[in-house]
Amino acid sequence: MSVKKFQIQISDQVVDDLKSRLGNSRWPNEIIDSGWERGTNKDYLKSLVSYWQHNYDWRAQENDLNQYPQFTCMVDDIDIHFVHVRGKGPNPIPVILTHGWPDSFIRYKKIIPLLTDPASFGGDPNDSFDVIIPSLPGFGFSSAPESSGYNNSKIADLWAKLMTEKLGYAKFAAAGGDVGSGVTRYLASNYHELLIGIHLTDVGELLIASNETNLSPEELEYKTAAWQWVGLEGGYVAIQSTKPQTLGYGLSDSPVGLAAWIIEKFRSWSGDNGNFEEKFSMDELLTNIMIYWVTNTIGSSTQLYYENSHGLPPMNQIKVPIAVALFPQDILVPEKSWVERYLNISRWSVMARGGHFTAMEEPKLFADDISVFFKTLRAS
């Protein structure tokens, strides 16, 4: 099927139902002075929900998102939603940007103008990109798989077909973080002849399960810290990798439950040591949550964790150039020497600041690193 133009148009019924549910929320007890230690803080969540109910304007956010050219296209049996913005320059490089969980395609919204029109920001028009940002299957406005098997490797297959068969690019670049890092690596592994290079913002999960024993003190320290993090913060991985369906009932029915599940990750994984409100506005946080709510895709999004832990195929060696940009307050920030034993790194950058939601937190740092890396590859 051909590529079709798309605009977000959520019915008044869905918006009115949400407001009703927010007004009839039932709140759990909270241990006094527990803060965020046991999960999402009740006082903060109540303030967010109050803003959501009385001040947040979905229609304004919907209109803002619709300023970006969006499309849908059937690839195999998934209707893929994506943003596609053409670069303003003599020879833009096409780059597909893959988001993760619990963010959405708006993870990369802030860097669209930086990559497509660098001249407007004092840059070189020769460094422009065509930017393609798809929504993962089962996330937001992409349709949800009806059968099992849609793991990172299968999604890479979809992206290769989208970029070549549907959009007509012979070669392209790719970048991603979180789940998007895994999808991007499979894309480069399985379709190296199509890839100019890949840019990643996290690769730490590669090393946690490593069976290596001859580790340096720094590598051993990283592995120990990583497993401690899994024990303290990895409960969401455990349930989403084993019983996502059970979780989905509650999160699909309660907007407050959905917000609590997502907001905790934005606070814990951002680069401001808990002061995440300085990095993300309430409108920005709620728009990301709304994308899950209005499409009823929180349940289908968590299924990806199950798929990736049940039958993900081994990855072939990646032959294309790889850039890794690490944001210092991200989770699982590994040692370069260890990563180099797994990946053929062409560029290694440690950003000055920032956490897990890279392009949302530090869009200019992120966009600049992508531009510098691919500038060296443009001639070839």
Helix (H) or strand (E) holding 142: none
Q: Is 218 helix (H, G, I), strand (E, B) or coil?
A: helix
Between the CA atoms of 103, 105, 111 and 115, what dihedral angle is there, to the nearest 10 degrees? 140
Note whether 184 and 196 are within 8 A (CB). no
Q: Please state, in angstroms and rounded to a whole number, the distance separating the CA atoms of residues 361 and 297.
A: 24
Q: Is 137 helix (H, G, I), strand (E, B) or coil?
A: coil
Q: Please state, in angstroms and rounded to a whole number, the distance separating the CA atoms of residues 357 and 267.
A: 10
**Location of structure tokens 């050219």:** 69
Angular region, 139: left φ>0, alpha ψ -120 to 50, beta rest = beta
Tell me the catalytic residues: 178, 305, 356
Q: Please state, in angstroms and rounded to a whole number, the distance separating the CA atoms of residues 304 and 281.
A: 28
